Structure 1
Amino acid sequence: MAGYASDWRNAYSGTPAAVVRPGGTEEVAAVVALCAEAGVAMVPQGGNTGLCGAAVPDHTGGQVVLSLTRMRRIRDVDLANQTITVEAGAVLKSVQAAAAAAGRLFPLSLGAEGSCTIGGNLATNAGGTGVLRYGTMRDLTLGLEVVLPDGRIWNGLRGLRKDNTGYDLKQLFIGAEGTLGVITAAVLKLFPAVRNRATAWIALPGPQAGIDLIGILREQAGDRLTGFEIMSRQSLGFVLRHASGARDPFGERHPWYALVELNDTLPAAGLDGVLESALGDAIGTGVVSDAVIASSPAQAAALWALREGISEAQNHEGPSLKHDVSVPVSRIPTFLARTDRALRELVPGIRIVTYGHVGDGNLHYNLSKPERSGDAEFQARAADLARVIYDATSACDGSISAEHGLGQSKRGIVADYKGRHELDLMRGLKQLFDPRGLMNPGKLLPD
């Protein structure tokens, strides 16, 4: 049971009473009903790729892990309705492939797409690199099938874009991290296939330049602006040091970089010209220091590999304290200036690895220890460092979790940053759906 007892980073672990692997919704319902009758807590688990420990049991040995990885069927592709119906254990990459085989696009894309599952994506309201154009899983989902904590099945698999008959129940389960029920299937939106892309790696003098560049691109490219990622030099430096075959696109160092992608459904959309024009304007006004536009799909993939390799590369530098926050896009420069300064005063020499989907305000703000310092000493400061980051996030009207969720890691601190009435409403929903507290206890909600 080792693979089900800890997360992929071995950051969280537990001792399950058993691991159950149902093959269909009726089997999930039967397991949940039996556990409810016996008063046994359940931990729903998908690909187990999360970063906050939401899918890991505790150490009591009394919780059943409910793995959905056998439930991988693509139940339906409805081209007229532009939807795909899939089971919760379907791997994200296989859903993307099924959409592509039908000449369509399912736009959710993230680093773990080869192993994360749709159920986990829904449970954490995953975002990824395409949120700027397509939104999060909340925006991509039309209907759900859910096994409730008492074993009843709620069939909400309706592919409707308009349904004004009361509360939108599906939204309660999306982002709930398995605390209100077990998502077993979903109806997801499809989009026209992308037939033209333009990708650029851009050097920036600072974070404010990145915000200014987003404005320029939105004016000139409109909805064709699909991705806008930003990363610090420290982030790129780790990738160049540790990722095989990684090369710096420029001959000189720059303090910040952006990775931009435009796409269109038209094969001859002229996106390279649109991107060249926008970047030319940005260089002329000093917003952009340098830029390179990929001339082939292979070059575009190499540029994306630099961005996607940051998290793994940082792991080679010792303990990595990962933080996933969001602030209004206009407040990003202020947040970074304040937080960087405060952290460097607290831990001189700390290495700050900042990157993320800055087009929607989501920053992955990760910390590595100063060079030649001890792992244990750095990890002992984790709570103090997190407090600095979260205080700065709150001061900028942001959120301490943008897309990773709360899980175990942030449930103890969320009460300091979320209003009392808001938490009371959340606890009320938990009590309504799961009065005995058997569904993924110890996650998301503070004690």
Structure 2
Amino acid sequence: MHAVLPAEELAVAALRAAMPAGMLLSDGADTDRYGRDWTGDHRGRPLAVALPRSVEEVSMLMRCCHELRLHVVPQGGLTGLVGAAVPSHPDGEVVVSLERMNRVRSVDAIDFTMVAEAGCILDEAKAQAEAADCLLPISFGAQGSCRLGGNIATNAGGFNVLRYGMTRDLVLGLEVVMADGRVWNGLRTLRKDNRGYDLKQLFIGSEGTLGIVTAVAFKLYPRPTQVETALVGVASVEDAMALYVLARRECSDLLSAFELLLRGGIEIAIGAHSGLDDPLSQPCPVYVLLELSAGGRVDLRRLIEDFLADAGDLVLDGVLASSRAQAERLWLLREVMVEAQGRGGRYLRTDISVPISRIAAFVSESIVALDAAYPDACVVTYGHVGDGNIHMNVVPPEGMATEGYDDLFHAAEAVIFDAVDRHGGSISAEHGIGRVKQRAFLDRADPLTLELAGRIKDSFDPRHLLSGGRILPLRDIDGGPAWS
């Protein structure tokens, strides 16, 4: 008699039989790295890991998973922060990693467009754009390891949003494999196309719940030939906002980054990196890291010098980079601060947005409330002023027992989110909802929004096999996997 195989093994065996050789991994030693993300906070065990090489293989895989009623979660570079790409479905999930689909298919320096596959690392796509004297302006700390499909799925933001917009503002077209394996070919590079519904926008920011993005057509820009970077100190967040308004008016559309960093974050960066010190002659309560970029015949150096001179008493101290190396060193403060803020352990990450005019009030109210409730915790505040996106993170007090972390994080998040609500903001500006922020999202969404979102999900993925339990609650449509 033949031994009865566990249901999971039957599922993997059926899938393996239908897939090309070498496409499916199921051994724990091979699949372990696909079961955890960059944070280390979210872990799961993949039912199997599929590594397709082409859109045809993704289509074949999804047809099989649809027939077998296997749940699927697509993955990019696993740099997300809300648990959206880590396997978590109670019936098990097949991870679809796009890492082998990593080609830039074309760069057109006349159209200023790029077509690239979803597994392409952002830095590599940016480098190929630069080689054609173009700019792909998506830019943030994880760009050396994140992949384009994940950028699309989360509608990634970053440093340059105030000038170029979020990822969705840069997407001209998409190629998407649907839950049943059909391929939607919306991979167009047209700048103007008004033929009915703009379906691609539904997939951008959907966190893998509606389809698997396999390729993207991006809008590019001329590569800047001049970049000027400055770090200035101001007395308060209110003064930083006044400086921002002045910069938008005086520097026109050449302002490409305006980052807010409170003093605590600067101290964390200096303490964590032996080669860093405060570039300013005196410590300041609030720092602004700003960047202007341009091509052509604009005298950008003169422009930023005149702007800083016009800022007058708003600027307590400042330094203007005289070389690319010095500019990179100023940006290193921002990068090291983000990497070092948790002291190597867990901490609360928030990713909120409020109207730009409310940033100062939001920051002030939230910090006062957090300091009063948790005086020994470390509140690290920084963000992208030009799009209203603030990261207010809470690091547990040194020596605090790890068993108390979750209670601290839950209570501190409630304080921050209450302030977000009062100021008409969003609990997620660029990281998405995933599983981590689902409860907070559902508590704030109005019934009609949830109804319409549910109808879209039902239409695109009627069996609810794609990224179940992300954004919307988990639903079992037709009795679970056919192989059980």
Q: Indicate whether the TM-score tops 0.5.
A: yes
Q: Root-mean-square deviation (CA), in Å? A: 1.2
Q: Residues of 2 paired with 1:404 and 1:228: CA distance?
A: 19
Q: Which deviates more from structure 2 when the two are superposed, residues 230-239 or residues 56-65?
A: 56-65
2:338 match: 311
CA-to-partner distance for each residue in 1:185-228, whole Å, 9 max, x for gaps? 01001100110011000101111111111111111110000000
Query: Could you tell me the TM-score, scaled by structure 2's length?
Result: 0.90
Q: Which deviates more from structure 2 when the two are superposed, residues 349-358 or residues 244-253?
A: 244-253
Q: Residues of 2 paired with 1:389 and 1:338: CA distance?
A: 9
Instruction: Please tell me the residue identity of whatever aligns with 2:301.
Output: D
1:71 match: 101
2:243 match: 213
Deviation at 1:59, TM superposition (A): 6.3
* 1:30-45 equivalence runs, <5 A: 30-45=60-75
1:387 maps to 2:432: no
Deviation at 1:350, TM superposition (A): 2.0
Contact 1:199/1:294 (CA < 8 Å) preserved in 2? yes
Instruction: Please tell me the residue identity of whatever aligns with 2:57.
Output: E
1:406 maps to 2:436: no
* Structure 2 SS opposite 1:200: strand
Contact 1:318/1:369 (CA < 8 Å) preserved in 2? no
Q: Residues of 1 paired with 2:381 and 2:138: CA distance?
A: 22
Deviation at 1:317, TM superposition (A): 5.9
Q: Residues of 1 paired with 2:263 and 2:32: CA distance?
A: 37
Deviation at 1:408, TM superposition (A): 1.0
Contact 1:224/1:263 (CA < 8 Å) preserved in 2? yes
CA-to-partner distance for each residue in 1:322-343, whole Å, 9 max, x for gaps? 0000001100011111111111
Contact 2:282/2:317 (CA < 8 Å) preserved in 1? no
Q: Residues of 2 paired with 1:84 and 1:244: CA distance?
A: 40
* 1:178-217 equivalence runs, <5 A: 178-217=208-247
Contact 1:75/1:87 (CA < 8 Å) preserved in 2? yes
* Structure 1 SS opposite 2:260: strand
1:85 match: 115
Q: Residues of 2 paired with 1:374 and 1:359: CA distance?
A: 38
Q: Residues of 1 paired with 2:187 and 2:89: CA distance?
A: 36
CA-to-partner distance for each residue in 1:96-139, whole Å, 9 max, x for gaps? 01101111111111101111000000000001101011111100
2:384 match: 357
Q: Residues of 2 paired with 1:371 and 1:3: CA distance?
A: 30
**Which residue of 283, 304, 321 maps to 1:275?**
304
Contact 1:143/1:159 (CA < 8 Å) preserved in 2? yes
2:183 match: 153
Q: Residues of 2 paired with 1:59 and 1:239: CA distance?
A: 38
**Which residue of 403, 417, 422 maps to 2:449?**
422
Contact 2:258/2:386 (CA < 8 Å) preserved in 1? yes
Contact 1:413/1:446 (CA < 8 Å) preserved in 2? no
Q: Which runs of 5+ in 2 are unaligned?
A: 1-30, 475-484
Q: Residues of 1 paired with 2:338 and 2:300: CA distance?
A: 30
Contact 1:355/1:364 (CA < 8 Å) preserved in 2? yes
* 1:96-115 equivalence runs, <5 A: 96-115=126-145
Instruction: Please tell me the residue identity of whatever aligns with 2:331.
Output: W
Contact 1:29/1:147 (CA < 8 Å) preserved in 2? yes
Q: Which runs of 5+ in 1 are unaligned?
A: none
Q: Which deviates more from structure 2 when the two are superposed, residues 72-81 or residues 154-163?
A: 72-81
1:129 match: 159
1:26 match: 56
Q: Residues of 1 paired with 2:471 and 2:302: CA distance?
A: 46
Contact 2:347/2:409 (CA < 8 Å) preserved in 1? no
Name the larger-Rg structure. Answer: 2
Contact 1:15/1:60 (CA < 8 Å) preserved in 2? no
Q: Residues of 1 paired with 2:295 and 2:238: CA distance?
A: 31
* 1:286-365 equivalence runs, <5 A: 286-316=313-343, 318-365=345-392
Contact 2:378/2:394 (CA < 8 Å) preserved in 1? yes
Instruction: Please tell me the residue identity of whatever aligns with 1:12.
Output: H
2:199 match: 169
Deviation at 1:349, TM superposition (A): 2.3
Q: Residues of 2 paired with 1:316 and 1:331: CA distance?
A: 30
Instruction: Please tell me the residue identity of whatever aligns with 1:311.
Output: V
CA-to-partner distance for each residue in 1:206-263, whole Å, 9 max, x for gaps? 1111111111111111000000000111111111001241111113211110000000
Instruction: Please tell me the residue identity of whatever aligns with 1:137.
Output: T
Q: Residues of 1 paired with 2:346 and 2:76: CA distance?
A: 25
**Which residue of 155, 164, 170 maps to 1:140?**
170
Contact 1:200/1:292 (CA < 8 Å) preserved in 2? yes
Corresponding pairs, count = 444
Distance 1:305 1:189, change over 3 A: same
Deviation at 1:319, TM superposition (A): 2.5
Q: Residues of 1 paired with 2:462 and 2:421: CA distance?
A: 31
Contact 2:174/2:186 (CA < 8 Å) preserved in 1? yes
Aligned-residue sequence identity (percent) comes to 46
* Structure 2 SS opposite 1:30: helix
Deviation at 1:379, TM superposition (A): 3.3
Deviation at 1:376, TM superposition (A): 2.9
Instruction: Please tell me the residue identity of whatever aligns with 1:396.
Output: H
**Which residue of 244, 247, 253 maps to 2:277?**
247
